[in-house]
């Protein structure tokens, strides 16, 4: 680290799963960033934050953080979904760049308003779509660039789990203000990945179900995206899958690629492991590699190392040099248009057409 340049000071709003497991460790591991303040009113989480990040300052409410905006260089919003828009807006109005955990907003219109506000203030606004740096997604991106698949015509992607019992909390709430349910949770990742790989959506079809007893929010969903370039993405997200399907199946004119299992970075962070300079991160054993080829003639393909730390490295670079944000707000707007179309499709039982370029 160049000690002649002061580290950028980060205020983190929220210290639940997203704040404590994903954002705080990655911020702390990024050269040029320092975790300055954590906002949480929960006594146990305050103790946890101090134990995991000695010397960090604490604030009970976001207003306390924004009252000293001049002492910060970036705000990260990792609080419940319903708070994303008001907190991001308040931070931008206070003159601070902002990173917001996905989804950026509940609607594409709200996301577009935040993007316009950031542009008018000349401030960075980015969405934490960390799954773009999953090991399997990076591998698929490499295969597409290499051309080994030929012309891709179908992309299948799954985030499936077997969680037959409800965990409770706002993510499973049926209150639309909470922006809960799997479509906006796991679906935010799946749709973002599909759009990043294959471009804008032309049409969307979806099926949303509430399967578990006493559940209120969608816990089993399927979304089909017909991209403007002709590729079809089939996306599954579920908490009720007793037998998991492949994470990815990509079918092209020359070959197909099939990959099982999840990227190891979330599990590593949950176990308390942290990225460190010079140490390998996001790697998986050869036994977990996917295979590329045709039926009866396929070979294992080395999986790229996952690299969630790349997100905050890019944020730091954007703040220092003015380089592009790692995930731009207009990309979040496009994904939210697809998610909104999916919800409408499921409610009306029909395919929804999107405007060109949406």
| Count of beta carbons in the 10 Å neighbourhood of residue 272 | 9
Q: Which fold has domain 131-308+337-353?
A: Dihydrodipicolinate Reductase; domain 2 (3.30.360)
Q: Look at residue 214 and give its three-state secondary structure.
A: coil
The average pLDDT across 91-110 equals: 98
The token duo for 275 is 């990225």
Strands (E), the chain: 8-13, 33-39, 57-59, 74-77, 98-101, 125-128, 152-160, 201-209, 220-227, 232-238, 248-252, 256-259, 290-294, 297-301, 352-353
Scored b (16 or more CB within 10 A) or e, 108-145 reads: bebbbebbebbeeeebbbbbbbbbbbbbbbbbbeebbe
CB 240 within 8 Å of CB 164: yes
For domain 8-128, which architecture applies? 3-Layer(aba) Sandwich (3.40)
pLDDT single digits (tens) 185-201: 999 999 999 999 999 99
Count of residues making up the chain: 358
Helices (H) and strands (E) in the chain, counts: 11, 15
pLDDT-derived band at 278 (thresholds 50, 70, 90) equals confident
CA 16 from centre of chain: 16
| pLDDT above 60: residue 358 | no
Tell me the domain boundaries of the chain.
Answer: 8-128, 131-308+337-353
167-223 pLDDT tens trace: 889 888 889 999 999 999 999 999 999 999 999 999 999 999 999 999 999 999 999
* 3-class secondary-structure state, position 36: strand
CA separation for the pair 100, 114 (Å, rounded): 11
Structure tokens at 233: 């993405």
């Amino acid at each position: 680290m160049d000690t002649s340049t002061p580290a950028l000071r980060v205020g983190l709003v929220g210290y639940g799963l997203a704040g404590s497991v994903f954002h705080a460790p990655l911020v702390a591991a990024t050269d040029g960033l320092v975790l300055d303040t954590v906002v949480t009113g929960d006594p146990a989480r305050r103790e946890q934050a101090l134990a995991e990040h000695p010397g960090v300052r604490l604030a009970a409410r976001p207003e306390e953080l924004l009252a000293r905006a001049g002492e910060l260089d970036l705000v990260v919003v990792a609080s419940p979904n319903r708070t994303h828009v008001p907190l991001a807006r308040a931070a931008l109005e206070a003159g601070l760049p902002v990173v917001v955990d996905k989804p950026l907003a509940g609607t594409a219109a709200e996301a577009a308003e935040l993007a316009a506000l950031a542009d008018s203030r000349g401030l960075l606004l980015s969405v934490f779509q960390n799954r773009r740096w999953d090991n399997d997604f990076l591998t698929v991106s490499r295969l597409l660039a290499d051309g080994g698949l030929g012309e891709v015509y179908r992309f299948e992607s799954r985030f499936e789990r077997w969680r037959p019992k409800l965990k409770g909390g706002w993510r499973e709430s049926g209150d639309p203000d909470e922006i809960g349910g799997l479509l906006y949770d796991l679906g935010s990742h799946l749709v973002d990945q599909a759009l990043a790989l294959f471009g804008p959506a032309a049409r969307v079809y979806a099926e949303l179900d509430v399967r578990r007893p006493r559940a209120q929010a969608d816990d089993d969903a399927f979304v089909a995206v017909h991209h403007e370039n002709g590729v079809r993405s089939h996306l599954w997200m579920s908490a009720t899958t007793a037998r998991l399907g492949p994470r990815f199946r990509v079918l092209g004119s020359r070959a197909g690629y099939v990959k099982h299992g999840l990227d190891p970075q979330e599990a590593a962070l949950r176990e308390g492991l942290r990225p460190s300079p010079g140490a390998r991160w996001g790697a998986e054993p050869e036994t977990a590699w996917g295979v590329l080829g045709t039926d009866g003639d396929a070979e294992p393909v080395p999986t790229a190392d996952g690299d969630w730390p790349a997100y905050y490295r890019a944020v730091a670079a954007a703040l220092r040099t003015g380089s592009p944000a790692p995930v731009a707000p207009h990309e979040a707007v496009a994904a939210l248009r697809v998610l909104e179309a999916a919800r409408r499709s499921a409610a009306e039982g029909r395919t929804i057409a999107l405007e060109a370029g949406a």
